[in-house]
Amino acid sequence: MNRQHIGILFGGVLLLVVAMGISRFAFTPILPFMRHDAGFSLEVAGFLASSNYIGYFIGALWAGFIYRHRKNFLLLSVVLNVLSVVLMGMIEIYMVWLVLRLIAGITGGLIFVLTSSIIMDYLAKQSLTRWSGYLFSGIGLGIAISGLLVPYFEARFAWQGTWIGLGILSALFFIITFVLWRNLHVHDGMKVKKSYETKMSRGFMPWLIAAYGFEGLGYIITGTFLVDIIHNIPSLQAYSSYSWVIVGVAAIPSAPVWTVLLEKFSAIKMLYVAYIFQVVGILLPVFSQTVWSVLLSSFLFGLTFVGIVTVTTAYARQLFPTQSGAVVSLLTTFYAFGQIIGPIIAGKLVTVYSSYKAALIFAGAIILVALMVMLCGRWITGKRLATLEKTIAIDTQSSP
């Protein structure tokens, strides 16, 4: 892998740091400070989170229809994304916050899908597909950066200065990417005709999409409220920010690690393991509220949620190698739809039961549903494909 390839891949990593680690997930460690100073409830926080995820849903869906000028759309989305982060610290009006989080979500969805498809296409063209997992390490890197910087910025500039500081950092990452990508030429996407392989592969997609949507619904509850959960446990309050750093540190290497394992084991087996580990991580704080259990919960969460994104996306792209943009967009759209609902349900459950435990139990149960959908769907599809292949073989033998 030469310097140019590394630079282009690194630029993609930085864009995911901006869109996912900062614009999207920095809200998690900043939330306790915003709630304390602004005095809004967890239910209100859920609406702010869902506004962002509604935007992410729109952006991911929109990206699937962008076939021309993908690079220009992507760079413009990054500029608007950075502005939405900076303005969060400059304006203290709840309705404006909702709009800003919506804009951050729309541009974040566009950035994730377009960056993923552009980098995956580029690496495939250079016969470097095995490096694609490193792209998603940008999610974990961004989470780790936000987890480390939020307490530092907040102690000196309050939560308002934290948003502004993170926005400036995002702008710096954008400039670096712009320079690294100055010679990157992105070809327009093409709608391909249906082939026999595409029709065969499509049998895998409905259950994969459904499982991924349930994953989005379940994981986002911990992904949104983890720091606030720990912050509201008096004996663990000092560790709340560290927990988010642990999530990021675990997520950074998880994408390339899961990618390497994907070369040795089937995608379904890897997803099965990832879903089980994630359920354990989500439910640990329900049954044990010690320092080690909370940090282990954070580690398992970071290890698995990026891993599930990596393996699911890679598996879908194997099925549809010429339609990376549309495939990533479709998966991300359903993933985002689940995320819209999650924070709202969590906020309602916490309000009714006056405890985070109900929300975490709900999240763990939903991830188990995702696992069952995936396993049952894969089994049914396997039987159908086996029958179809047998029919084709008989027809071939009987034909003159």
CA-based radius of gyration for the chain: 21
Residue with tokens 């992410």: 56
Which domains does the chain possess? 3-186+194-398 (1.20.1250.20)
Q: How far is CA 268 from CA 140, 328, 329, 347, in A?
A: 23, 18, 21, 32
Q: 88 vs 196, which has greater pLDDT?
A: 88
Q: 56 vs 323, which has greater pLDDT?
A: 56
pLDDT average, residue stretch 82-103: 94
Closest C-alpha among 315, 224, 317, 307 to residue 268: 315
pLDDT average, residue stretch 159-181: 95
Lowest pLDDT segment from 52-61, 313-322, 373-382: 313-322
Cβ-in-10-Å burial (0-12, 13-18, 19+) of 273 comes to middle
Cα–Cα distance for residue pair 53/74, rounded to 1 Å: 19
pLDDT of residue 197: 42
Phi, psi angles (nearest 5°) of residue 129: -55, -30
Q: Give 211-227 as a DSSP string.
A: HHHHHHHHHHHHHHHHH
Kindly tell me if the per-residue pLDDT of 103 is higher than 50: yes
Strands (E) located in the chain: none
In the three-class reduction of DSSP (H, G, I as helix; E, B as strand; rest coil), residue 186 is classed as coil
Amino acid at 114: L
pLDDT average, residue stretch 202-214: 78
